[in-house]
Structure 1
């Protein structure tokens, strides 16, 4: 996606939006503004997620606009929301601006497909998360973003981020980071115990995995920084460049005793090699258990670093991979090319 951004490739219009950390804005892939450095960008699938990330739309490329010109009233509303200290524009404020609230809501929704209130809520919540992550007391973040009710703020925050705002400060949380790879965006989650999850964001069942991790570890999942996330980002980059085939990042997989045994055996498969489910079951001392091994294989939440992609059918054909068979094939080809002779 960064290469598409650098080329201003129109083929990626509608595929992703780019958040620029240094300016706090999000842009289309074809934006004509000066291109940011790779470490200063993050990518989003749509405008709502970019707003939840705390970004505002770029005024040059207008990423929330369709092909038709933006109505003057819609532009006026967006500017008002950005200028408001707490990001909140009430109906009373609209009347003071000479704008009829019903007309404003109708035009905004007709143009953007989301209500003006939804736009404001998404932006305010994104800014609130940034406040809490930076160490600001929750009550200050609440008041600064225009929430008079503590319970209302907690409920709104939890709806968006899956946890109340206090969870963004407490130690009991998993820190999340999106990682860009040649095979697509991945999501990494880590805490001090180790890397808990590494999955392609379009993986089937990813949302279910996140809910399960939150429940089992009794924690929140929030965007953040951690040394282990930096390490896996570096090691993945080296892996895809062909300079590394073994990962050293500390892992802390969450699973049953049997699943942990299967995953440990997966890590013994050398890069460039593969095994069948029957071979895996035999090595684990359960020759009649290929199906159980297959289920444990499919439950692995640490893609690539616990190499479930190295398990294939007995006849050598590829079999199920939640990240997509095309990725499994690419990973195996990559490891055969760069793995040990």
Structure 2
């Protein structure tokens, strides 16, 4: 989401004027209707405070907005093929669906053709679009704290089944007379680097990730399946604690994260994550140095994989691990965020 006030004002002015020069430059998410639009949308213009602005359609989708039916923002440029039109329509009809090559064949076209056409127009694959739409549905409910039925109506489904299935495929079905199902609570946290989602119970933080992290959907599904858990929108003292600590962290006021956490992974992964917790703010280490600390100098690649599997972003500071030559290396939240975090911590005032 774009947070620069001057840029937001510029985009809002373009939205009011229906300035065609800005079509494809930004997408406006309208919080009162739950849709996202192009600059030239003919619908009645919203108030400034009800607008969020995004650089890509994927960001708008992940924030829980659906394409506006008036301006059809996913139909830009206008010369998109009937095939792509059909694919977008199918996602809206079945947001819960997991698309496979065989599904495209049944529709009478080749999967590779569909992927190529979609990627060319939108800069993301059709599967990315479908996943972002489904994930956005789940995240919208978390972000707003609405009851499922209210959120279902808001996103525009005539039947609750599509919304319910899309949500439950990620977060788990609501428990029905079962004492073995664990209930976890998910909440939305706005930060200077973009929104994050936390998943907690009454005692521990299980997951903290940026909502646009690649693979977040898979992380959540794997966690709830392993724990036999259902995840519902809500807050506990733990989610409130981590939200407050993150606020202090971004304002240079936090000495140490105190939120109780719990690890889910192999013994080796846990050993890597525990070493990460020892890296002080403002300091960095390398994958090779981590492997040496674990008395296994040849495990550099395994250390990198464990680093990437970390589900507690910022708290378990995998962003403080760089390559031996000083290059940043990878980061699940994106290299720009890693660069920002390291710069922020370098100038951190304890």
TM-score, with normalisation over the residues of structure 2?
0.60
| Shift in alpha-carbon separation, 1:324–1:27, aligned structure 2, 3 A | closer
* Alignment-derived partner of residue 224 in structure 1: 234
| Shift in alpha-carbon separation, 1:305–1:282, aligned structure 2, 3 A | same
How far 1:165 moved relative to its partner? 4.8
Contact 2:195-2:210 within 8 A present in 1 as well = yes
Secondary structure at the counterpart of residue 291 of structure 1? helix
| Shift in alpha-carbon separation, 1:232–1:266, aligned structure 2, 3 A | same
1:286 pairs with 2:296: yes
Deviations 1:29-69 (A, max 9, x none): 9885445599xx9999578777x78x99899xx897989xx
Contact 2:193-2:337 within 8 A present in 1 as well = yes
Q: Distance in 2 between matches of 1:301 and 1:339?
A: 26
In the alignment of these two chains, the number of paired residues is: 277
Which aligned pairs between 1:292-331 and structure 2 lie closer than 5 A?
A: 292-331=302-341
1:158 pairs with 2:156: no
Which aligned pairs between 1:1-341 and structure 2 lie closer than 5 A?
A: 1=2, 7=9, 9=11, 10=14, 18=29, 20=31, 33-36=46-49, 114=89, 118=93, 157-162=164-169, 165-167=173-175, 172-340=182-350
How far 1:28 moved relative to its partner? 5.5
| Shift in alpha-carbon separation, 1:116–1:218, aligned structure 2, 3 A | closer
Could you list the runs of 4 or more consecutive aligned residues of structure 1 that deviate by over 6 angstroms after TM superposition?
A: 11-14, 41-44, 46-50, 55-59, 62-67, 109-112, 119-122, 153-156, 168-171
Q: Distance in 2 between matches of 1:225 and 1:175?
A: 6
| Shift in alpha-carbon separation, 1:168–1:227, aligned structure 2, 3 A | farther
Secondary structure at the counterpart of residue 181 of structure 1? coil
Secondary structure at the counterpart of residue 184 of structure 1? coil
| Shift in alpha-carbon separation, 1:173–1:17, aligned structure 2, 3 A | farther
How far 1:321 moved relative to its partner? 1.4
Contact 1:193-1:252 within 8 A present in 2 as well = no
Q: Distance in 2 between matches of 1:295 and 1:176?
A: 26
| Shift in alpha-carbon separation, 1:179–1:307, aligned structure 2, 3 A | same
Deviations 1:83-117 (A, max 9, x none): xxxxxxxxxxxxxxxxxxxxxxxxxx979953798
Q: Distance in 1 between matches of 2:340 and 2:310?
A: 19
How far 1:292 moved relative to its partner? 2.3
Q: Distance in 2 between matches of 1:301 and 1:36?
A: 33
Q: Distance in 2 between matches of 1:247 and 1:282?
A: 26
List alignment gaps of at least 5 residues for structure 2: 15-21, 77-83, 97-132
How far 1:186 moved relative to its partner? 2.1
| Shift in alpha-carbon separation, 1:282–1:13, aligned structure 2, 3 A | same
TM-score, with normalisation over the residues of structure 1?
0.62
List alignment gaps of at least 5 residues for structure 1: 68-108, 148-152
